[in-house]
Homo-oligomer: A and B are copies of this chain.
Amino acid sequence: MTIQEIAQKSGVSVSTVSRVLNNSPSVSPKKREKIQQIIDEYNYTPSVFARGMVNHTSKNIGIILPDITNPYFASLFLEVQNFALKNQYATLLFNTMFVRHQLQNELHLNEEDYFKMILEKQVDGVLILGGSIDKEDVPNSFIHALNQLQRRVPVVIVGSKIDGCDCLFIERNLKQGVTSIVHHFIALGHERIGFIGGEPGIRITSARIDAFKHSLQVLNKQVDERHIVTSDYYAQDGYSAMIQLLDTSADSLPTAVIAINDMVAIGAIRAMRDRGLDCPGDIAIASCDQFLQSDYSIPRLTSLDQHNEYLGRMAVMQLISAINGSEEMLSINHSPELIIRESCGAAGDAGSRT
């Protein structure tokens, strides 16, 4: 089915069909109806290829993220796709990280290779959710590749702004939530507080550790460096971090520990259990990034709800408006919300189900 055939069957020219296809006002109601009927009857949809030739748009956007099995990225993607679809954009998803998964014959590509691929796909815009962009020292070659990409299509990045990068950034407030956890722990009477998880050299990690230290210093509380153990973002990393913490500061363990996210918290609690320690009895734990299921672990996890769903929406909205030529920067204030459950040891919450 082509526009030609529709035109013939409708007894009009292709331009008229094209007009009804594109909601041009200058078509007589009678013809419009007739044509629309034929279109529906034959279930005709215009060729994206032919349209692309003319408009240079695909109505596709590319999403680059490190790991879709990570609940944080999965829920971000969900929100992104939902909003994109509403605006007639489909999403080409590129997952760049495979290290956790023993894929055979795995692809060895870096993000810059993905930029190239995505560009060849003629997407109308690119959304980058984390990855190399989150490093403290982003390689110059990466920024260069990013700028080169940006010159071809709009690029929106969910992450901290980087000097010399021309892309649009959606920044998260990484510090506020940590501070509220610290205050919560202090209020519960904790004096020695630790921090675990997060890959070193990644901005999310360092921003949160900075906020952690700073909020304690403001309150004139000591920070024991041994109580800060970085690793990565998954359960296995929470496990190893907690083991290391227990090993290196056996003489003066913290009474409370902040985990960078729920998976790390779960791994840490498991490690405590393996060492015969109880959470929250021996060490209380709270996490900075809530995922689903935090209400079902043992103990239930006290977490920050970062309201990440806004993030995803903001990012696509920004991207789509950039695709449409708008320069306007959107803004949103999302305040993390502390969900108090069991793992922090706050009294009277033993049975609560938020």
Contact = CB atoms under 8 A, between A and B. Distances in A.
A194 to B, nearest CB: 19
A93 interface: yes
A39 interface: no
Contact of A78 (B82, B98, B117, B309): B98
A37 interface: no
A274 interface: yes
Interface string A294-326: 011110100000000100000000000000000
B298 A270 contact: yes
B293 A235 contact: yes
Interface string A74-112: 110111011001100011111100101111011101000
Interface residues of A, number: 65
A120 B292 CA distance: 34
Interface in A309-354: 309, 351
Contacts of A49: 48-50, 52-53, 56, 58, 122
A10 interface: no
Given A49-B49, A274-B351, A298-B269, A79 B93 contact: no
A28 interface: no
A202 interface: no
A74 to B, nearest CB: 4
Contacts of A109: 85
A117 B121 CA distance: 18
A83 to B, nearest CB: 8
A196 to B, nearest CB: 14
Contact of A296 (B45, B107, B267, B309): B267
Contacts of A296: 235-236, 238-239, 266-267, 270
B121 A90 contact: yes
Contacts of A68: 68, 74, 77-78
Nearest to A75: B69
Nearest to A270: B296
Contacts of A94: 81, 90
Interface in A16-65: 45, 47-50, 52-53, 56, 58-60
A293 B266 contact: yes
A119 interface: yes
A263 interface: yes
B105 A86 contact: yes
A122 B273 CA distance: 53
A71 interface: yes
Contacts of A117: 85, 90
19 contacts: A47-B53, A47-B122, A48-B52, A49-B56, A49-B58, A59-B121, A60-B92, A77-B93, A78-B98, A81-B93, A81-B95, A85-B117, A86-B105, A90-B118, A93-B93, A234-B293, A235-B293, A236-B296, A239-B296
